[in-house]
Structure 1
Amino acid sequence: MPQTPSSHSEKRDFIRMRIDTEVSLLHEGQVIAALCLDLSSSGMQVQAAQHFRVGDQLEVRIDSEHAALKGLHASTEVVWIADQADGQQKLGLRILAMH
């Protein structure tokens, strides 16, 4: 189904911040190193070497290098996947809850 211009603009109602930082993905008892490419109040884009499926639930942790700043811990769901030429995946994650 094609997107209308208004439905595309609605997806961009949240400001995205490009961060390019290392994150840990927790999935089914495994900790997977990944790279968070951008972050908004409703989701994030992550690149990972491990493959996931749409609907997978992932815990995301971004550690803070500053003692005064708390890191980010969020429960997320994979909502889209883009396979990359190098075998990695870019993942669109919807934030379900912040901890």
Structure 2
Amino acid sequence: MITPINDRRAFRRMAIESPLQISFNGQTRQGVCLDLSATGMSIEVVDAIYQVGDTIEVHLGQGTATAPPLSGKANIIRISAQGDKYVLAVELTELK
């Protein structure tokens, strides 16, 4: 877990660093899910095509017989530049 003691988030975050797909404006791009909570995730991307307020679709994992992949819609609530990459903070709004 990467939740500091003074963190006031309602749900703990789990560091997972797993590849995921992002669907946006009819295109599918790759990203890396850095961490995941019950209500959102942080996603590392190389493209600067996103803006705060955009709605994206995320697809995380391939799924197994006992655990389906995580798939749904998310709203971008913050974007941070990290060198030549960007970290999107997203709020999950709909899971499929």
The reply to whether TM is greater than 0.5 is yes
Alignment-mate amino acid for residue 19 of structure 2: E
Counterpart of 2:32 in structure 1 is 35
Unaligned stretches of 5+ residues in structure 1: 1-5
Aligned residue pair count: 90
Give me the identity figure in percent.
Answer: 28
* Higher CA-based Rg: 1
Matches of 1:65 and 1:95, distance apart in 2: 19
| 1:97 and 2:89 correspond | no
Alignment-mate amino acid for residue 38 of structure 2: S
Say what the alpha-carbon RMSD is for the aligned residues. 1.6
Alignment-mate amino acid for residue 57 of structure 2: E
Counterpart of 2:47 in structure 1 is 50
Q: Scaled by the length of structure 2, what TM-score is found?
A: 0.86
Q: CA deviation at 1:63?
A: 2.3
Q: CA deviation at 1:23?
A: 0.2
Deviations for 1:31-79, whole angstroms, at most 9, x for unmatched residues? 0100000000110000001121000110000122534421010100000
